[in-house]
Chain A
Amino acid sequence: MKDMDLADIIGEAVEHVLTYTGGHTRRVYVTPIETPYPHGKLIVSRTDTQGIITQCNPSFVEMSGYGEAELIGQPHCLLRHPDMPAAAFRDLWETVQAGRQWHGYVKNLRKDGGHYWVYATVVPNVRDGRIVGFTSVRREPSREKVALAEAQYQEMRGS
C-alpha cells in the first residue's frame, strides 16, 4: 500500500506511521475533520478471503474519498484510522473466520485525511458450505454510541 499523499489532504494534518498485522507500514496524515454519515444509506463492501476489496457500493466510494478504481484490489486496511486499536480488528478477523458475524463501531480514514464513524457488521459469505469472502454493511451510529466507542478505543490504545 502506498503512503498517503500530502497533496490529497484537506486541512491541518498530523502524520502517523501505521504498522499493520502483516508487519508492513504506511505513512498516513490525519485531520480532525469528520464527514457526517449519509442518512438512510448503507455503506457496503465485499472482500476476498484475504481482505482484499472486490466490490463496493457508491456510498462506500463517496465516503472513502477514493475513486472506485483506487479501491478495488486494495487491502481493506487502506481505511484504517490510527485511532482504531489493533485488537478490534483481530477480534473481527477471528470472529468472521470462525464463520460468525462481527459487529462494532469503526472510525475510518478518508483519502483526504478526515474520518467517518460507522456501525459495521461483517459477515462471512458462505457458499456450498465454504467461506468464499466477506461482506461488510455499515449503518449510521448514534452520537452516544460513537462517544462510548471513542472512549473505549482510547483506553485500549493506552493513551
Chain B
Amino acid sequence: MTINFTVSPSFPNERISDWYIFNTWLQRALSLPIHLELYNSFGAQRAAIADGKVDLIYANPFDASLLVREKGFRAIARPEGPPDEMAVITHADGPAREIRNLQPGTRLACSDDPCVNTVGRILLEPANLDGSNIVEHRRETYIQVARELLRGEADVGFLPVEAFDGFSPLIRRDLRALVTSELHVIRHVFLVGPALAERSEELTALLLSMHESEKGRGILEALGARRWLPVQHEDVEFMIDIISTLNQ
C-alpha cells in the first residue's frame, strides 16, 4: 500500500525540494512507501482530500478542521513557533490609515488560501465591508497579491504575516499593514488519516524526536522549524470550535 502525503500549499516555493527531502526521511524511518503530492492550489488539494487521496498531511488550520471533524484524521504534532496570523496590506502611499477608512467598492487582491481569506474578511468587517461591496481579484500566489498592490491595481490585499515578512525588503518597503490579526489560536498541524491510524503513535514519536538527530535537525531547519511539539486532542478540538465561528 502506498501512503499519500501532502502539504498545505501555503509554504514558499523555495521549500518544495525540502518537503521532498522530508518525505524521503519519513519513508526511510517508517519503512513505508510514501508518495508526496504537492498541489499548486488549495482547491486542487481540497478535491484530493474529498477523493480520499490524502493519508498524511501538514495542513493549514482550516483544512485541519475539515479533516478532523469529517474525515477521521488526528492531529499529532505542530511546529514550535508562533501561531498563524494574517494581515491586510496596502500600498505604503495608499490613502487609508486604518481599516475604517476603507470605502465600499474597495478592490481586494487575495489568493485562494481559505485560512487567510476568512481571517482577512473578518479584519475588513469593522469597515462594514463584505462580499457584497468589495471587488475581489483572485491571484495564484501571495507574491502576485503583493504585485497588484504595488501596481495600484488593488487597494488592499490579504497575506499571511509570515509570507509578508518573507518578502524582500525592496517589496516590503512600498507596502504597509493596515491591521494584523492577533488571534493567537490557529496553527498548522500534522495530521494522520484513518489508513495510518495504527501507526500514529510510532509516527508521533518519530516527529517529536526528529530534532534529536543531526539529519532530522537539518531537515527541520530547511523547512523553517526547530522541532515538532505534541498537540493535545482537546487543544485541536478547541481550535476547531474557534475556527467554526470564523466561517460565519
| Interface of A toward B, CB cutoff 8 Å | 37-42, 44, 46, 57, 59, 101, 103, 119, 121, 123, 125, 127, 135, 137, 139-145
Contact = CB atoms under 8 A, between A and B. Distances in A.
B62 to A, nearest CB: 15
Nearest to A122: B245
Nearest to B99: A39
A127 B237 contact: yes
Contacts of A59: 182
29 contacts: A38-B182, A39-B179, A40-B123, A40-B179, A40-B180, A41-B181, A41-B183, A42-B185, A42-B242, A44-B185, A44-B242, A57-B184, A57-B185, A59-B182, A101-B244, A101-B245, A123-B244, A125-B237, A125-B238, A127-B237, A135-B238, A135-B241, A137-B242, A137-B245, A141-B125, A141-B126, A143-B100, A143-B128, A144-B128
**SS class, residues of chain B in contact with chain A:** helix
Contacts of A40: 123, 179-182
A42 B183 contact: yes
A8 to B, nearest CB: 27
Contacts of A144: 128
Given A42-B184, A101-B248, A135-B241, 15 more contacts: A39-B99, A39-B126, A41-B182, A101-B244, A119-B125, A125-B241, A135-B245, A137-B245, A137-B246, A139-B122, A140-B125, A140-B126, A141-B125, A142-B125, A142-B128
Contacts of A139: 122, 125
Contacts of B32: none
A127 B184 CA distance: 23
A123 B242 CA distance: 8
Interface residues of B, number: 24
A153 B81 CA distance: 43
Contacts of A41: 181-183
B39 to A, nearest CB: 29
Q: Which has the most chain B C-beta neighbours within 10 Å: A42, A44, A121, A143?
A: A42
A140 B99 CA distance: 11
B127 interface: yes
A41 B183 CA distance: 6
